[in-house]
Structure formats: C-alpha cells, structure tokens
Amino acid sequence: MPERILIVDDCDTHHLLLAGVFERNFEVVPARNLAQAEALLDAQDFSLVLLDVDLPDGDGFSFYAKLRTKPHTQNTPVIFVTANDSAAGEIMGFSLGAEDYIVKPIEPVRLRSRVEARLKRLHEKEERDLNLQKGDLRLSVSQAKVSLLKDGQEIALSLTPVEFKLLFHFLRNENFVFSRAQLLNTVWGNATDVFERTVDMHISKLRKKIEASEFAVSAVHGTGYRLSRRMKNQA
C-alpha cells in the first residue's frame, strides 16, 4: 500500500507539480484550504503532510499547532513548503516541531529526497516502538501478544486482532477521548461494511478481557471512549 501524502496548498500549479514529484510510490491527496485539510485528516490516516503557511482561511502555523492537540493527528509528520522565506518563519516552523521547512520555488528531486529521508527515519522509529509497556500491560506488536503483569507474573491475554489494535491505540493515547468514527478509521481503515455499533461490541469484549488490569476503557457520554487508569477503589 503506497504512502499517503496530504498536500495543503491553494495554488493549482503547485498541486500539479507536487503530484508529479510523488506520483510514483505515493498516493497524493490535495487540499486547497485548511478546512478541507482538517476534514481529510479527520477521515483518513496520512503518512505525511506538506503544508503551506499562507492559506485563504488561515495560517499553516496555527493549523499545525491545532493538529498537535488532536490524538489522531498529533504524531502525523508535517513539512512546511512555503514562499515565506523569512528567518522568523523558519524558526517558527521548527520551534513548533515540523520535520522540515522548505522554501519555494521547489526543486522536485531535492524535495522528494527530503521527504523520503524523513519517512525512512520515522519508520525506523516506529520499528523501535513496536513493543509497548504501560503500567501492568505489555504489548508486542510484532507478535500481536498482550501480557498482564501481576504479582511478579506475566499472564498472557487472549485478544482478537481487532481488540489488540484497539488496546494498542488506546494505550498510546491514554486519557484521550475517541469517537466511534475515529476508532473505525484507525482500526478498520476504509472498510465499508463496518458500523459504529461494531465498535461498541468489540470494546465490550475488550473491557472484560482487561478487567484485572489497572486500565479500563470507559464510555464518555455523547462522545466516544477513552482508556484511563482505574481509581484505586475500582481496581
């Protein structure tokens, strides 16, 4: 499956140029303003975002800061690609945490090589993060195994692949509230035969399987679900 890149730019010429740069091995999705970009990021997962600074409905810096407040986009890498060549703009971009800051006009070969280098580095980090331990739960992504650590013992938990994905996502985003739609997108992707009630069913089963853990998945009325540590009198 190709890497999916979101290009946020209000110039059609730049969209065509960037689409040509990444037409091989990448899926390029265009957005011509921040509202379109936000809707796309809420609906799909992207490997990377190429973000202009000056857009019709706002500035890229503020939008980037907003992305970092959302659990499903807080780790999405962003590269600014902009005509703003001021030192202040570049300092702002890097201080916010951007992966890179590239000034137009674009040199296609150099841009592609920088994007590929960033993605390679990020994938290497993901491989290092394949094992996750929080509190009394230990997950091995490479083996799709979950263990409960109790009284010096490691107890294997039997989770389905869907339950494993849900738990992994929740643990990486402890205390964040996810809507059913967000969980559907993260766990099931673009599947069209899965409905929001399916999320409820799988979470109900997951709750029972981790009821001995210090963590619990709770429903947030009118919003969705979150994973958090139980109060001591609930453990």
pLDDT in tens, 21-55: 888 889 999 999 999 999 999 988 899 999 999 99
Query: According to the model, what pLDDT value does residue 70 have?
Result: 87
**pLDDT tens profile 112-155:** 999 999 898 887 777 666 678 889 999 988 788 999 998 888 99
Q: Residue 59 phi/psi, 5° resolution?
A: -110, 150
Q: What is the mean pLDDT of residues 6-13?
A: 94
Query: According to the model, what pLDDT value does residue 152 have?
Result: 83
In this structure, what CATH number is given to the domain that contains residue 203? 1.10.10.10
Residues 76 and 153 in one domain: no
CA–CA dist 30, 10 (Å, integer): 9
In this structure, what CATH number is given to the domain that contains residue 23? 3.40.50.2300
| Residue 235 confidence (pLDDT) above 60 | no
Domain count, the chain: 2
Q: What is the pTM of this model?
A: 0.59
Residues 24 and 68 in one domain: yes
Residues 111 and 40 in one domain: yes
Mean pLDDT of the chain: 90
Structure tokens at 194: 């899965």
* Domain span at 58: 3-128
Residues 103 and 149 in one domain: no
| Residue 110 confidence (pLDDT) above 80 | yes
Closest-CA residue to 173 (of 225, 234, 96, 98):
225
Give the residue, 146 or 231, on which the prediction is more confident: 146
